[in-house]
Amino acid sequence: MNNELKFIDLCAGVGAGRLGLEANGLECVGYSEIDRDAEATYKTLYGNELAFGDLTKIKPQMLPNFDLLISGFPCQTFSIVGKRDGLQDEDKGQIIYHISRILEERENNFFILENVKGLVNHDKGRTFDIVLNLLESLGYEVHYKVLNSLDYGVPQMRERIYLVGVKKELVQDGKSFSFPSKIDRIHDISYFLSDTRDEFVFDKSKATYATFESYLQNKYNQGKYDIDEILKEDYVVLDTRQSDLRIYPQKVPTLRRGRHGILYTKGGKLRKLSGYEAFLLQGFTKEMAEKASREQSNGKLLAQAGNAMTINVIEAISKELLKYVS
C-alpha cells in the first residue's frame, strides 16, 4: 500500500516535506508555492513538475488524485517573533481555510500540517481550538504534537507543532496513530557545519566585525565573554540575534526566514553559518544543498531553509502514519 500513496505538496517552499514523504515511498503529484525564489530552488532540485501556483486560487476539482496533503501553512502571524495576529491576518492567517477547502472538496484520506509552536497558545489557545475544530469537522481524526528537530537526527533546536489527520472511517478499533519516538543518536555537527569557503570566515577583515565587537561590550554582554577562550573549542555556536549573546555547544538555534547572526567556531576562527549549511541542518543531502547553492544567493538560501520543514521529522512522522494505515 505504501508505494501506492500519492501526495500533494502545498505551501511547498523548497520541498523539504516532499523529501520526507518520498523517503517512505510516497509519490508527489504536484505542488503549490508563490515565493518565486523558493519555487526556483524547487525546480532546480526536482525539475519542472506540475505546479499550481497560488494556493488561494486553486480549484480543488482541477487537482490530480492524491491520498495525502502536506502543507506548512504560513506561520509569521502565530510566531512569538511575528505580530501574532493569527486568524485575523487576512493574507497569512487565512491560509488554513484554503487548505480546509481543498480537504473538504477532495476528501483525501490523510494530511500532515506543520506550524510554529506559538500556534498552540496563540490567543490563549483559542486559535488552535478553531483550527482543530475546523479540521475535525471535515471528518478527520486529528493528532498533534510539538516535536523538536534536535530529536530526529539534525543538531537544530527547532520546535514545531505537527498535525496529522486520518479520515474517521479509516480509524481502526484498538489502534491509534502515534508520533515517532526520539531518535537516540549523537549528532556529528562537523557534517552539518562543513562549509569551507573563505567568504564565511568572520574576523577583523570584515566590515561588520567592529559592530560585533561593540555588541560584545553592550550592557548585556560586557565582561561576560572572552572570544579568545571561546575560539579554543570547535563548533561552539554563537547566537547574536538578541541583545544578549547566547552560546550553544554542538547545536544550532532555530533557523528562521530573515535570521542572520549565527556564528560558530572552527579551527580557531569564527565563521558565519552559510545557506548551504542551513540546508544541511534541515536534512537536505550535501548534493542537494550544493545544487541549490549554485542557483541562489546565500541570503535567499538562508531564508528558504528558515521557512522549510525538517526532512527528518516528516520522514519519521510519515513512517509512523504508514504503520498505522497498513
Distance CA 312, CA 255 (A): 15
Q: Dihedrals φ, ψ of 199, to 5°? A: -65, -15
Query: What would the grid cell of residue 197 be?
Result: 569557503
| pLDDT per residue rounded down to tens, the chain (326 residues) | 445 899 999 999 999 999 999 999 999 999 999 999 999 999 999 998 899 999 999 999 999 999 999 999 765 444 444 444 544 544 444 788 899 999 999 989 999 999 999 888 887 888 898 899 999 999 999 999 999 999 999 999 999 999 999 999 888 777 789 999 998 776 799 999 999 999 999 999 999 999 999 999 999 999 999 999 999 999 999 999 888 999 999 999 999 886 778 999 999 999 999 999 999 999 999 999 999 999 899 999 999 999 999 999 999 999 999 988 77
The CA dihedral of 47, 48, 50, 55, to the nearest 10 degrees, is 90
**Of residues 102, 191, 109, 119, the one with CA closest to residue 162:** 119
**Of residues 51, 213, 76, 73, the one with CA closest to residue 135:** 73
Q: How does DSSP classify residue 172? A: P
The residue to which cell 520543514 is assigned = 309
SS3 for 36? helix
Do residues 133 and 96 lie in contact, with contact meaning Cβ atoms separated by under 8 Å? no
Please list the active-site residues. Answer: 75
Residue type, 288: M
Do residues 315 and 158 lie in contact, with contact meaning Cβ atoms separated by under 8 Å? no
Distance CA 234, CA 98 (A): 46
Residue type, 20: G
Do residues 301 and 276 lie in contact, with contact meaning Cβ atoms separated by under 8 Å? yes
Query: What would the grid cell of residue 55 be?
Result: 494556493
Distance CA 22, CA 315 (A): 8
SS3 for 197? coil
- How far, in whole angstroms, is CA 193 from its chain's centroid? 18
**Torsion over CA: 220, 226, 229, 234 (sign):** positive
Partners of 27 in beta bridges: 6
Distance CA 98, CA 60 (A): 10
Structural domains present in the chain: 2-182+309-325 (3.40.50.150), 189-303 (no CATH)
Distance CA 207, CA 154 (A): 32
- Half-sphere exposure (Cβ direction) of 216: Cα atoms closer than 13 Å: 15
